[in-house]
């Protein structure tokens, strides 16, 4: 299956670079570009992409507002935000919106490609650099999962932190996809988390995963 992607960034050179990276992959096709958030909404409506790679800061309608509009419309396009090391507040706002991933603009090309592929499956990709950004100065408790989580739910959470889809988690843990979905729903409820993105960040903050060492514990 070919993953259809739309690029949104107000800098044409950035879009050209992103296009070159993604078009080099046989399973990814860039089907549209936008220079601002309003144009992004129009391009998404016209092309119906699987993934939109969106810069946080753009004119007319910024990336956060555009992502919120796409989420409210309930379409199938998954949004991956492009950010910088200075934009922690924006990343936290994107978490509340419920995007499918984050990539630091200076990340290696393989991180960008991995984020697009992961988002296309409905799973979540958090660039290790973004995880470090979210953890920095947060004062978050690092340690084992609270007693409320069962060992199997903890295993599932570690897999979520690695960006695995339900099907991949099922294969790794030798479970049915239905069982995985049940475990995901229960752990989100127990931890008072809204979605998989928040679960990934929670796993990093509480030591179930470390940036650059997915699924690792201290």
pLDDT tens digits for 155-179? Answer: 999 888 877 888 889 999 999 999 9
* DSSP state for residue 75 in the 8-state scheme: -
83 and 26 assigned to the same domain: yes
* DSSP state for residue 26 in the 8-state scheme: T
Establish how many alpha carbons lie within 13 A of residue 177's alpha carbon, considering only the half-sphere containing its beta carbon.
5
Final residue before a domain boundary, out of 135, 154, 174: 135
Q: What is the number of domains present in the chain?
A: 2
130 and 200 assigned to the same domain: no
Asked if the model's pLDDT at residue 45 lies above 60, the reply is yes
Rg (CA), the chain: 17
Alpha-carbon dihedral 141, 147, 152, 158, rounded to 10 degrees: 0
Q: 123-132 burial, b for 16+ CB within 10 Å, e for fewer?
A: bbbbbbbbbe
Give pTM, 2 decimals: 0.73
Asked if the model's pLDDT at residue 17 lies above 90, the reply is yes
**Local structure of 14: helix, strand or coil:** helix
- pLDDT tens figures, 82-121: 887 666 777 777 777 778 888 888 888 988 998 899 899 8
pLDDT given at position 96: 75
pLDDT given at position 24: 95
Q: How far apart (Å, rounded) are the C-alpha atoms in residues 58 and 63?
A: 6
Phi, psi for residue 6 in degrees, rounded to 5: -115, 140
Residue 106 belongs to a domain with what CATH number? 3.40.50.2300
Which range of residues forms the domain containing residue 105?
Answer: 3-135
> Mean pLDDT throughout 47-75?
91
User: What is the H or E stretch that residue 110 is in?
Assistant: helix 109-120
Share of the chain above pLDDT 90, in %: 46
pLDDT-based confidence at residue 195 (cuts at 50, 70, 90): confident
pLDDT-based confidence at residue 144 (cuts at 50, 70, 90): low
Residue 178 belongs to a domain with what CATH number? 1.10.10.10
> What is the number of other CB atoms lying within 10 angstroms of the CB of residue 86?
8
Final residue before a domain boundary, out of 101, 118, 135: 135
How long a stretch of residues is the chain?
218
């Amino acid at each position: 299956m070919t993953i259809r992607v739309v690029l949104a960034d107000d800098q044409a050179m950035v879009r050209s670079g992103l296009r070159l990276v993604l078009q080099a992959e046989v399973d990814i096709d860039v089907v549209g570009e936008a220079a601002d958030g309003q144009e992004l909404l129009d391009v998404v409506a016209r092309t119906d992409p699987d993934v939109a790679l969106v810069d946080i800061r753009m004119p007319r309608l910024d990336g956060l507002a555009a992502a919120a509009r796409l989420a409210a419309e309930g379409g199938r396009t998954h949004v991956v935000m492009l950010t910088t090391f200075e934009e922690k507040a924006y990343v936290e706002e994107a978490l509340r919106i419920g995007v499918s991933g984050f990539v630091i603009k200076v990340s290696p090309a393989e991180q960008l490609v991995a984020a697009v592929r992961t988002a296309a499956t409905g799973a979540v990709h958090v660039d290790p650099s973004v995880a470090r950004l979210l953890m920095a100065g947060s004062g978050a408790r690092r340690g084992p999962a609270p007693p409320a989580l069962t060992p199997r739910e903890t295993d599932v959470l570690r897999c979520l932190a690695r960006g695995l889809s339900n099907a991949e988690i099922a294969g790794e843990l030798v479970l049915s996809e239905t069982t995985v979905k049940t475990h995901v729903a229960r752990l989100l409820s127990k931890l008072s988390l809204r979605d998989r993105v928040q679960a990934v960040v929670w796993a990093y903050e509480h030591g179930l995963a470390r940036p650059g060492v997915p699924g690792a514990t201290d």
